[in-house]
Structure 1
């Protein structure tokens, strides 16, 4: 187990589901790349029973099932990365609460998009949603078996939150020695090209300005990571649709998310929500205050 003075672990959520197995695989590779410990965490929802009428063996039985789940995951990790330091934890409590507590000391939390207990029609489980909107460290949500090669993709808007996501995306691309695709989406004015031309709007000039702006937003991180090859991309479709298209060939998609608003109660903006629900590749969610 990592100590306070040691490296912060990467935490992988384990529940026996297919998505969780993919998440453990992704987390294992990331821990090896970073040279940090991997912590496998299984959470047990306390049974809704009267403890006076049921023996403590129920809790012991559930704890035993949890141990078997994490030991199976640990065995899989050991076959892939036999020298990796692995810590296992079985926690009794509400899964979102327990995993959010883990996020205080984690470098990164990796979770499957859906666990075993969710409704079959849901694309994103409640635990994954809670982590994406409230964790104290970056979160990676894994839906399918991730690709071993391919670019890292990040959406860029020029906001401080976007800049934080861009920094994490550069770091991930550098660690993988892969290309970074920095994508900026903008919408043409809501009238046709002929009407715009009559008003003296030159779309070529507007497009060139968008490219110049994107280059300026990227330049600071490019100087810090000169080894990363960057492809700057301008899209005129909606940001979510453009990023989903790129996610089909990507190893990782990085997105900034404001999280839960104390005023409105909204948990995700439209674009992050669409990406978490539909992206073919793992999605890293970076919120304000997440360090690198």
Structure 2
């Protein structure tokens, strides 16, 4: 991982490691914490995810890169940030069944969140972003922060509007192949971690919801055989599929009300992912449950089935 986003840090591994004055660059689930209820919900969700995956949880707070005493390590603003992170650390440890088995790292970083999180995405297992509310305000906030990560991050990004429910399926909306492959594989793993079923939502589009009248796209090209192929890595996961017509975002929003997670991709247009990317941007704005967005490079790396190991490594939920 690039170290540019980690300069001027006052950080420590709070659990399971000594205070080394730096952040372990290994894969972890990263979540920004600013004290808001949305950020705390995101941290709670991220802690549960980190415990299930058995990877560290990294809580980050950003302070402005201002050259004033309060903003320097040891200054008033830094001390307040450390107190905030300690509160968040205690909160998330109280939410997981076995807190002694969850490594929580905290760090106060000077810099801009968007730039630093994008750099962290080069090695992170997952970046989690919290948001709250709905409507115009949420769209504005997402447009300036979370959507930038959704478009540009190198690792998956989870958008969390609320902590989520403990029951219900994982949803995997698919439109075409091979863009569907990493979505299905990530969905399988997410369902396995949650001990629940995967609901594959196949989108049937006579006319794309975002296309002008007269434009035709063939129905979903994802077959039962292709779904079964992706299931081989998690044969114990129960899989159901439904086909929806019309506006896919509206249909998936209805399903998401009773779901634990929606897994979607932003696949490259060259690999049949243009419609999937547009759908992802709608879902992160409107879905009530957490949405896990896979980066475009994940789907590109799949090719046409000849690089399955690359898919398995990069499509982890």
Fold conserved between structures, TM > 0.5? yes
The alpha-carbon deviation at position 157 of structure 1 amounts to 1.9
The alpha-carbon deviation at position 103 of structure 1 amounts to 1.2
- Which residue of 40, 45, 55 maps to 2:59? 40
Q: Go from structure 1 to structure 2 and tell me whether the alpha carbon gap of 1:152 and 1:28 turns closer, same or farther (over 3 Å shift).
A: same
Is the counterpart of residue 16 in structure 1 residue 35 in structure 2? Answer: yes
Is the counterpart of residue 186 in structure 1 residue 204 in structure 2? Answer: yes
Residues 80-134 of structure 1, C-alpha deviations (whole Å, 9 max, x = no match): 332111100111111101111211221111110259xx96773626221221111
- Count of aligned residue pairs for this structure pair: 260
Q: Go from structure 1 to structure 2 and tell me whether the alpha carbon gap of 1:90 and 1:119 turns closer, same or farther (over 3 Å shift).
A: farther
The alpha-carbon deviation at position 57 of structure 1 amounts to 2.9
Is the counterpart of residue 235 in structure 1 residue 244 in structure 2? Answer: yes
In the alignment, which residue of structure 1 is the partner of 2:286?
A: 278
Aligned-residue Cα RMSD (Å) equals 3.1
Is the counterpart of residue 252 in structure 1 residue 261 in structure 2? Answer: yes
Q: Is the 8 A contact 1:156 1:214 kept in 2?
A: no
Return 5+ residue gaps in structure 2 as ranges: 1-12, 209-217, 299-313
CA distance in 1, matches of 2:296, 2:221: 26
The alpha-carbon deviation at position 58 of structure 1 amounts to 4.5
SS of equivalent to 2:259: coil
Matches within 5 A, 1:19-168: 19-47=38-66, 51=67, 55-59=68-72, 60-81=75-96, 82-83=99-100, 84-113=102-131, 122=140, 124=142, 126-168=144-186
Q: Is the 8 A contact 1:186 1:238 kept in 2?
A: no
Return 5+ residue gaps in structure 1 as ranges: 191-208
The alpha-carbon deviation at position 211 of structure 1 amounts to 8.8
TM-score (norm 2): 0.73
The alpha-carbon deviation at position 171 of structure 1 amounts to 0.5
Is the counterpart of residue 226 in structure 1 residue 235 in structure 2? Answer: yes
The alpha-carbon deviation at position 284 of structure 1 amounts to 0.2
Residues 13-49 of structure 1, C-alpha deviations (whole Å, 9 max, x = no match): 11111111111111111111111111101112334xx
Q: Is the 8 A contact 2:183 2:265 kept in 1?
A: yes
SS of equivalent to 2:232: helix
Per mean C-alpha deviation after superposition, the further-off stretch among 90-99 and 58-67 is 58-67
CA distance in 1, matches of 2:220, 2:180: 17
The alpha-carbon deviation at position 172 of structure 1 amounts to 0.2
Q: Is the 8 A contact 1:11 1:39 kept in 2?
A: yes
Q: Is the 8 A contact 2:138 2:285 kept in 1?
A: no
Q: Go from structure 1 to structure 2 and tell me whether the alpha carbon gap of 1:10 and 1:256 turns closer, same or farther (over 3 Å shift).
A: same
